Structure 1
Amino acid sequence: MGTTTRENIPTKEEFSLFQTLVHNRLGINLPAHKRVMLGHRLFKRLNALQLNNFRDYFNYINHLEHTKELETALELITTNETFFFREEKHFEFLQQKVLPNISVNKTFKIWSAAASTGEEPYSIAMLMQYHCRSSWQLMASDVNNSVLTHARKGIYNDERARFLPAHYRKEFCMKGIDEFQGFMRVKPSIRNKVQYFTFNLLDDMASIGMVDLIFIRNVMIYFTDETRQKIIDNIQTILNPKGWLFISHSETLHGLSHDFNIVQPAIYQRK
């Protein structure tokens, strides 16, 4: 990553420009402590374009002819690290409480709404493939195109799989060899189960269709209450009655108007 210097950290004024940009484009709030992170992620782009500072880069990506670089900047800023079977209580609940009660006469539909690099949807797919005897479908989306490209490939270093149960890894993953030592790849039997697409959570969700379970974890924490309310309102239009909503344990629906019962921390069921 290199040494942190004055040159590769935006000033507070420069950081404020990017805070406004990300909020206006994606509805995401960048807290002040993300200033160093933003600097590290964008500094290589400044060098590549031979720009002097972050204000010059901000001006550059706001020109109409540089929309591709704007997309690159937004993707670099919003990329998050994740891993397989994060917040394992959700997966235990899905296996033990949800799956035994789903109808065998309809397809159970799941949406991973902030899929990032694919660890979450592949964790869901492995569990469903192993334990679900009914028909099921899994959609996964993210606003960031580059992370979805990563997800579709399904290649991960072993650190990302540190909580992946051994029996899932044995059945659904291939071990890397030679130059891929220390990596694994999700098998096509699971990769092909996930339908990936680009989606901004601020957009109308009608195109998603009705679903039975939504994972939307570790993303709403970055939104304002107003934006979170809009997202919850939209979710309620596509989540079937008695459908499930899983958010992260660092998030809550407290203070929002909604039509959910809380079942246990971070797990809600629509009334």
Structure 2
Amino acid sequence: MAQSVGLTKAEFDWIRALILRLTGINLPPSKKALIIGRWNRRLNYFGYTSFREYIELLSSEAAGDELQIAINLLTTNETYFFREQRHFDFLRDQVLRQVCRGDKFRVWSAACSSGEEPYSIAMLLRAELGESGWEVLGSDISTRVLETARLGLYSMDRARSIPQEYLQHYCLKGVGPQSGMFIVDRALRERVQFRQINLNERLPDIGQFDVILLRNVMIYFDADTKSKVVARMLPLLKPSGHFLVGHCETLNGVTDSLNMLSASIYSKLPLRGASKRDAVIAVEARP
């Protein structure tokens, strides 16, 4: 029978330091139970009777893929389709209506978890911009959630927040062995690229984007990490681009390179000297 192993303060402090160094995530003391619950599976897998043994493995040259597995277990975040609908309304009403069909339009969903956010964006772009001219990139540090994202296969209860029109056009209901599931249509899945990207490290060459979403992840970062992550990402945002964070998050004190249009919605283009079109977007976006 699997045994649950306790975690000492010294072991917890070591794990906190490891995760902070590798991912930028600052685990508060309240996450101790989460670590025990999720990492106990790996202790049982190896037959360890203490976290000290597992820590020794993670510290050794033999860690290999185990280090990524350990990170995966601690970085899975809750997500769902069309989370924080106001952001999608803003993109549809204030941003996409200014884009001509066929124009290149790129969106990066950073820390995308299991793919619901980038697929939600793809549905919106397909509905508003047609079949060509747009791209969506979804990224996450966890290889495990990215495997789920690439499949695009979800349980039917995840479909409740998808607008009915989008559900009918861009999703297929499972039958037989896949009963109770649905899959994002292949044509839409092929328009979304997924990559493993650690926001706490130097970013790869992925080009520039019209919109970047970094939602509901900075709550896990300390102030210094927030500033460094956003500073890495901003060069990848086009001068007229928009940067969206979670509704409970703010970039106040994090960067002075973005203008707040409304809560959680920012623009890289300074309001002074902005074009008439961008000024209209800014004004209409204010509450």
**What are the ranges of 5 or more consecutive residues in structure 2 without an aligned counterpart?**
270-287
Counterpart residue number, 1:12: 9
Q: Read off the aligned partner of 2:38 and give its amino acid letter.
A: R
Counterpart of 1:176 (choices 171, 174, 177) is 174
Q: In the superposition, relative to structure 1, how do residues 59 and 218 fare at CA in structure 2: closer, same or farther (>3 Å)?
A: same
> 2:34 matched to 1:37?
yes
TM value normalised by structure 1: 0.93
Contact preservation (8 Å) 1:112, 1:121: yes
Counterpart of 1:258 (choices 248, 256, 259) is 256
Give the Cα separation in 1 of the matches to 2:157 and 2:35.
Answer: 24
Counterpart residue number, 2:67: 70
> Alignment length, in residue pairs?
268
Counterpart residue number, 1:83: 80
Q: Read off the aligned partner of 1:152 and give its amino acid letter.
A: R
Contact preservation (8 Å) 2:23, 2:200: yes
Counterpart residue number, 2:160: 162
Identity of aligned residues (%): 38
**What are the ranges of 5 or more consecutive residues in structure 1 without an aligned counterpart?**
none
Shift of 1:222: 1.1
Alignment of 1:120-139 (within 5 A): 120-133=117-130, 135-139=133-137
Q: In the superposition, relative to structure 1, how do residues 104 and 169 fare at CA in structure 2: closer, same or farther (>3 Å)?
A: closer
Shift of 1:162: 2.1
The runs of 4+ residues in structure 1 deviating greater than 6 Å are none
Contact preservation (8 Å) 2:197, 2:203: no
Q: What's the Cα RMSD here?
A: 1.9
Q: Read off the aligned partner of 1:68 and give its amino acid letter.
A: D
Give the Cα separation in 1 of the matches to 2:61 and 2:70.
Answer: 14
Q: Which moved more, 1:217-226 or 1:43-52?
A: 217-226
Counterpart residue number, 1:228: 226
Shift of 1:127: 0.8
Counterpart residue number, 1:240: 238
Contact preservation (8 Å) 2:100, 2:129: no
